[in-house]
Amino acid sequence: MALDYQKLMNWPLPEIRQALTPKDTMLYALGLGLGADPLDPKQLRFVYEESLLALPTMAVVLAPLGFWMKDPEVGVDWKKLLHGEQGFTLHKPIPAEGEIIGRSRIVEIVDKGAGKGALAFIERTITDAVTGETIATLTSTSFLRGDGGFGGPTGPAPAPHKLPERAPDKTCDLATLPQQALIYRLSGDYNPLHADPDVATHAGFKAPILHGLCTLGLAGHAILKTVCDYDPTRMTSLKLRFSSPVYPGETIRTEMWIDGKDVSFRARVVERDIVVLDNGLVTLR
């Protein structure tokens, strides 16, 4: 059955309210591996309640919609869905605690053609429930591999950020733990693909894979450490493409090109020498 363009464009996405606690903030940072050196005072600020700070990349887990495309009424072949791109812009630092509201909308669905899939562009705005101030705007692209050829618009789709052709200016290696996905999923993404070996095998993987947004967070950590001296107020935006999965326990090497306030980046798994995040761009304050 072909995807119903008008139905999906008008699908009612619920407003999500979240009571953000210091525990949520610390758990997210632990899910990215911060605190691996418990004597590092700069990392400790993100995992200890005294003068607690939120990581900029925590924007991606705030007030999440959950896996709403799994609803059969949506009409998407959700088993073939991939998270293609992710970005966020911070309008103010993320609070370590407070009440927030997430409001989402489907911006567009682009038909790449029969057998070629479709792209769904989604925007989420995070606001402070008390002041009404906008904290962050998030953009994501879902690749609907099984839903092309429904007769919808064929473009335009934004071009990816082009990385410089010179050698990286900086690199940072961060190891992941074998249990990294089991910790990270407690920040809200309970997809069994990241925990259940049987589900992972059925999906064609040798073991449960790391969440793409966890890999994003690891690259964000590497940039925060290498370029920002762990000052979360310096990172104002981030965008990237997901290119390959990561297995928990692997080492992520983030390669950075620094041009003023722009930091281009990609990330690769050291053990397999494969790029897992590509076309990345961070904007600094």
Q: Which residues have a catalytic role annotated?
A: 189, 194, 209, 212
Q: How far apart are the C-alpha atoms of 196 and 259, rounded to whole Å?
A: 42
* Bridge partners, 87 (sequence order): 139, 239
111 within 8 A of 154, measured Cβ to Cβ: yes
Q: E strands of 94-133, at which residues?
A: 98-111, 118-128
In one letter, which amino acid is 44?
A: L
Which token pair is 138? Answer: 């998030």
CA angle (207, 243, 82) in 5-degree steps: 70
52 within 8 A of 25, measured Cβ to Cβ: yes
Residue 25: how many other CB atoms lie within 10 Å: 23
For residue 230, CA distances in Å to 13, 44, 100, 103, 174 come to 35, 10, 24, 29, 15
* Residue located via tokens 């069994």: 192
